[in-house]
Chain A
Amino acid sequence: MTKQVAYFPGCALEGSAREYDVSTRRVFAALGVELLEVPDWVCCGASSTHGRGQEVALALPAHALRAASQMGLPLMSPCAMCYSRFKLASLELAHPEARARTEAALGQDIGELPSVLHPLQVLDEIAPQATVPLDIKVASYYGCLLVRPPAAGFDDQENPTIMDRIVAGWGAQPVSWAFKTECCGAGMALARPDMVARLSRRVLEQARQAGAEVVVVACPMCQANLDLYTGEKDTPVLYITQLIGLALGLSPRELMLGRHLINPLPLLRAKGLVNHG
Chain B
Amino acid sequence: MVKVGVFLCHCGRNISEVVDVPRVAEAVRHLPGVTYVDENKYMCSEPGQAAIRQAITEHGLTRVVVASCSPRMHEITFRRAAAQAGLNPYLVEMANLREHCSWVHADDHEAATLKAIELVKKAVARISYNEPLTPQPIPMTRRALVIGGGIAGIQAALDIAAAGHQVTLVERESTIGGRMAQLDKTFPTLDCSSCILTPKMVEVAQNPNIELLTYSEVESVSGFVGSFEVQIRKRATLVDHVKCTGCGICWEKCPEKVPSEFDLARGKRSSIYIPFPQAVPVKPVVDQVHCRYIKYQEFEASGAEGKKPPQCRICEKLCPPQALAWDQEDEAVTEKFGAIVVATGYDPFDPTVYGEFGYGQYPDVITGLELERLLSASGPTEGHVLRPSDGTPPKTVVFLSCIGSRDEERGKAYCSQICCMYMAKHAIVLKEHDPEVQSYIFYIDNRAVGKGYEEFSRRAQEDAGAVYLRGRVAKVFPQDGKLVVMGEDSLIGRQVEIAADMVVLAAAVVPSRGADEVARMLNISYDSDHFLVEAHPKLRPVETHTDGVFLAGACVSPCDVPQSVSRGSAAAAKTLALLSKETLVGEPTTAVVDALRCSGCQLCLEVCPFNAISTQVVAGRTVASVNEGLCKGCGLCSAVCRPAAIGVKGSTHKQLLAEVASLWT
Touch test A–B (CB under 8 Å): yes
Chain A residues at the B interface, C-beta cutoff of 8 Å: 156-159, 176, 178-179, 206, 209
| Apart from the given pairs A157-B355, A158-B354, A159-B355, 15 other A-B contacts in the complex at a CB distance below 8 Å | A156-B355, A158-B355, A158-B356, A159-B361, A176-B361, A178-B358, A178-B475, A178-B477, A178-B478, A179-B477, A206-B477, A206-B479, A209-B478, A209-B479, A209-B480
A residues near B478, Cβ cutoff 8 Å: 178, 209
Point out the residues of chain B lying under 8 angstroms from A157, CB to CB.
355
Distance in Å: Cβ of A162 to nearest Cβ of chain B:
14
Closest to B362 in A: A178
Query: Which residue of chain A is the closest to B409 with respect to CB atoms?
Result: A150
User: Which B residues touch A156, using CB under 8 A?
Assistant: 355
Residues in chain B near residue A209, CB distance under 8 A: 478-480
| A182 (CB) vs chain B CBs: closest residue | B475
Q: Which residue of B is nearest A159, CB measured?
A: B355
Q: Give the size category of B's interface with A.
A: 10 to 19
Q: Which residues of A contact B480 (CB under 8 A)?
A: 209
Top 9 A-B residue pairs of the complex, sorted by shortest distance between their CB atoms: A158-B355, A178-B477, A159-B355, A158-B356, A156-B355, A178-B478, A209-B479, A178-B358, A179-B477
CB-defined contacts of A176 to chain B, threshold 8 Å: 361
For A159, the chain B residues whose CB sits under 8 A away are 355, 361
> Which of A157, A158, A179 is packed against the most chain B CB atoms within 10 Å?
A158
Alpha-carbon distance A238/B361, docked complex (angstroms): 27
B350-377 vs A, Cβ < 8 Å mask (1 yes, 0 no):
0000111010010000000000000000
Chain B 476-512, CB-CB to A under 8 Å as 1, else 0, gives 0111100000000000000000000000000000000
Label chain B's interface by main secondary structure.
mixed
Which residues of chain A have C-beta atoms less than 8 A from B356's C-beta?
158
CA distance A1 to B92 in the complex (A): 84
Whole-angstrom distance between the Cβ of B379 and the nearest chain A Cβ: 29
Give me the interface of B with A, judged by CB distance under 8 Å. 354-356, 358, 361, 475, 477-480
Q: What residue of chain B has the Cβ atom nearest to residue A205's Cβ?
A: B479
Tell me which residues across on chain B come within 8 A of A178, comparing CB atoms: 358, 475, 477-478
Q: Dominant SS at the A interface?
A: loop
Q: With a CB–CB cut-off of 8 A, which chain A residues contact B479?
A: 206, 209
Question: In the assembly, what is the distance between CA of A219 and CA of B358, in Å?
Answer: 25
Chain A: minimal CB distance from B483 (Å): 10
Determine the chain A residues whose CB is within 8 A of the CB of B475 once the complex forms: 178
9 contacts between A and B (CB under 8 A): A156-B355, A158-B354, A158-B356, A159-B355, A159-B361, A178-B475, A178-B477, A179-B477, A209-B480
Which residues on the B side are within 8 Å of A206 (C-beta)?
477, 479
Measured in the bound complex, the distance between the Cα atoms of B361 and A158 in whole Å is 12
A158 to chain B: which residues have CB within 8 Å? 354-356
Cα distance A158–B362 in the bound complex, in angstroms:
14
Shortest C-beta distance, A254 to chain B (Å), equals 37
Roughly how many angstroms separate A157 CA and B409 CA in the complex, as a whole number?
13
Q: How far is the CB of B493 from chain A (nearest CB, A)?
A: 19
Enumerate chain A residues within 8 angstroms of B354, measured Cβ to Cβ: 158
How many angstroms between the C-alpha atoms of A159 and B477 in the bound complex?
Answer: 12
B200 to chain A, nearest CB (A): 43
Query: Which single residue of chain A is at the shortest CB-CB distance from B481?
Result: A209
Distance (Å) between the CB of B519 and the closest chain A CB? 33
The distance in angstroms between the C-alpha atoms of A178 and B480, with both chains bound, is 13
A57 shortest CB reach to chain B, Å = 24
Tell me the bound Cα distance from A206 to B478 in angstroms: 9
Which residue of B is nearest A179, CB measured?
Answer: B477
In the bound assembly, the distance between CA atoms of A156 and B358 in angstroms comes to 13
Which residue on B lies nearest to A160, using beta carbons?
B355
In the complex, what residues of A have CB within 8 A of residue B355's CB? 156-159
Nearest neighbor of B479 in chain A, beta-carbon distance: A209
With both chains docked as a complex, state the minimum distance between the C-beta of B380 and any C-beta of chain A, in angstroms: 26
Q: Which residues of A contact B358 (CB under 8 A)?
A: 178
Task: State A273–B361 Cα separation when bound (angstroms).
Answer: 31
In the bound complex, how far is the Cα of B2 from the Cα of A242, in angstroms? 98
**Residues of A with C-beta under 8 A to B477:** 178-179, 206
CB distance from A140 to the nearest CB of B (A): 14
Question: How far apart are the CA atoms of A157 and B410 in the complex, in Å?
Answer: 12
Whole-angstrom distance between the Cβ of B626 and the nearest chain A Cβ: 53
CA distance A206 to B358 in the complex (A): 15
Chain A residue at minimum C-beta to C-beta distance from B358: A178
Name A210's closest neighbour in chain B (CB-CB): B478
Among A156, A158, A178, A179, the one with the most B-chain Cβ atoms within 10 Å of its Cβ is A178
Best-surrounded residue of B354, B355, B358 (most CB of chain A within 10 A): B355
Q: A61 → chain B, closest Cβ, in Å? A: 26
In the assembled complex, the CB of A168 is this many whole angstroms from the nearest CB of chain B, namely 18
Alpha-carbon gap, A176 to B480, bound state (A):
15
Bound together, the chains give a CA A71 to CA B358 distance in angstroms of 44
Query: Residue on A with the closest CB to B478?
Result: A178
Closest residue of B by beta carbon distance from A180: B355
Within the complex, the shortest CB–CB distance from B591 to chain A, in Å, comes to 51
**Bound Cα distance A212, B358 (Å):** 19
**Once the chains are docked, how many angstroms separate the CA of A209 from the CA of B356?**
18
* Nearest CB of chain A from residue B401's CB, rounded to whole Å: 19
Q: How far is the CB of B451 from chain A (nearest CB, A)?
A: 40
Cβ distance B356 to chain A, nearest Cβ, rounded Å: 5
A176 and B479 CA atoms in complex are apart in Å by 13
Q: Determine how close the nearest CB of chain B comes to the CB of A152; give it in whole angstroms.
A: 16
Cα–Cα distance between A93 and B450 once the two chains are bound (Å) = 52
Question: Given the complex of chains A and B, what is the CA–CA distance between A244 and B480 in angstroms?
Answer: 32
In angstroms, how far is the closest chain B Cβ from the Cβ of A21?
32
Q: What's the least CB distance linking A164 to chain B, in Å?
A: 13
In the bound complex, how far is the Cα of B78 from the Cα of A160, in angstroms? 69
Tell me the smallest distance from the CB of A110 to a CB of chain B, in Å: 31
A158 to B360, CA, bound (A): 14
CB of A174 to closest CB in B, whole Å: 14
Question: From A150, which residue of chain B is reached at the shortest CB distance?
Answer: B409
Q: How far, in whole Å, are A159 and B478 apart by their CA atoms in the complex?
A: 14
Chain A's closest residue to B354 (CB) is A158
Interchain CA distance A158-B354 in the complex, whole Å: 8
CA distance A179 to B484 in the complex (A): 12
Shortest Cβ distance from A198 into chain B, in angstroms?
A: 13
CB distance from A211 to the nearest CB of B (A): 12
Complex Cα spacing A176 to B355, Å = 12
| Cβ contacts under 8 Å, B361 to chain A | 159, 176
Smallest Cβ-Cβ distance to B480: which chain A residue: A209
Alpha-carbon separation in the docked complex, A164 to B346 (Å): 37
A179 to B479, CA, bound (A): 11
Considering the chains assembled together, what is the distance between the CA atoms of A179 and B476 in angstroms? 10
* Closest Cβ–Cβ distance, residue A235 to chain B (whole Å): 16
* In the bound complex, CA of A157 to CA of B356 (Å): 9
Report how far A156 CA is from B355 CA in the complex, Å: 8
Give A158 to B476 CA distance when docked, in angstroms. 11
In the assembled complex, the Cα of A158 lies from the Cα of B351 at a distance in Å of 13
Query: When chains A and B are docked, how far (Å) is the Cα of A206 from the Cα of B361?
Result: 16
Closest residue to B477 on the A side, CB-wise?
A178
| Shortest Cβ distance from A209 into B: residue | B479
Most A Cβ at <10 Å: residue of B354, B358, B477:
B477
Bound state CA distance, A209 and B354, in angstroms? 23
* Bound Cα distance from A176 to B478, whole angstroms: 11
Instruction: Name the CB-closest residue of A to B483.
Output: A178
Cα A152 to Cα B361 in complex, Å, equals 26
Q: How far is the CB of A25 from chain B (nearest CB, A)?
A: 34
**Please, which residue of chain B has its CB at the minimum distance from the CB of A157?**
B355
Least Cβ–Cβ distance between A155 and chain B, in angstroms: 11
Residue of B nearest to A178 (CB): B477
Q: Given the complex of chains A and B, what is the CA–CA distance between A159 and B355 in angstroms?
A: 6
- Distance to closest chain B CB from A203 (angstroms): 11
Q: How far is the CB of B478 from chain A (nearest CB, A)?
A: 6
Contacts of A179 in B (CB 8 A): 477
CB distance from B351 to the nearest CB of A (A): 12
When chains A and B are docked, how far (Å) is the Cα of A209 from the Cα of B481? 10
B457 CB to closest chain A CB, in angstroms?
31
In whole angstroms, what is the CA distance A176 to B361 when docked?
A: 9
